[in-house]
Chain A
């Protein structure tokens, strides 16, 4: 079956712009979580959506937002981009909330570079 699909794979944006990243989870998975990885940092939790509702949010500024659609696809938006937002953004899906019982299935990520 198809895995977790993230688009685009690479993105270059200018400071001050906004960006939208997309994630299509595995069919039947209702939970979608987003993570940020920057050099020297572990995976940092951004937020989790389950059944179109944001269930949890990490310690990121309000410039980071997301949503989930009825087909479980999710989008993440970052407004007023800063250089420090340059990172690999990973989406992970799970059939259960927080991937507690089955773990997460990750996408390949979107590499965002802010110049």
Chain B
């Protein structure tokens, strides 16, 4: 069974702060990594699909990097806003397996 870890489990930041969190996954047989944002009372929303070592993706103030050789991905949020408050999930897939979701990082941005 694949183990996908995310840290920290939860995070409280002030509005305007920049923050980042980590998704760790097995480094062998990497196939793809996804990031999702899950706001309370809504559905998880796809943020990034990452497939290549060294990938860097950006969407507004949110960006992500991928290191498949060492088995981690970082998600960065620049200038956090209250609307960024959500649980951020990563999902990892290797060859022959389905996507495995991490437990998530719960972000709270205080105004």
Contact = CB atoms under 8 A, between A and B. Distances in A.
Nearest to A4: B43
B98 interface: yes
Nearest to A59: B1
B42 A108 contact: yes
A103 B46 contact: yes
A91 to B, nearest CB: 10
Contacts of A56: 98
B89 to A, nearest CB: 7
Interface residues of A, number: 26
A56 B32 CA distance: 17
B43 A102 contact: no
B25 interface: no
A100 B46 contact: no
The 7 closest A-B pairs by CB, nearest first: A103-B46, A106-B43, A43-B101, A42-B101, A42-B103, A106-B44, A45-B98
Interface of B: 1, 4, 31-32, 34, 36, 42-46, 48-49, 51, 89, 91, 93, 98-104
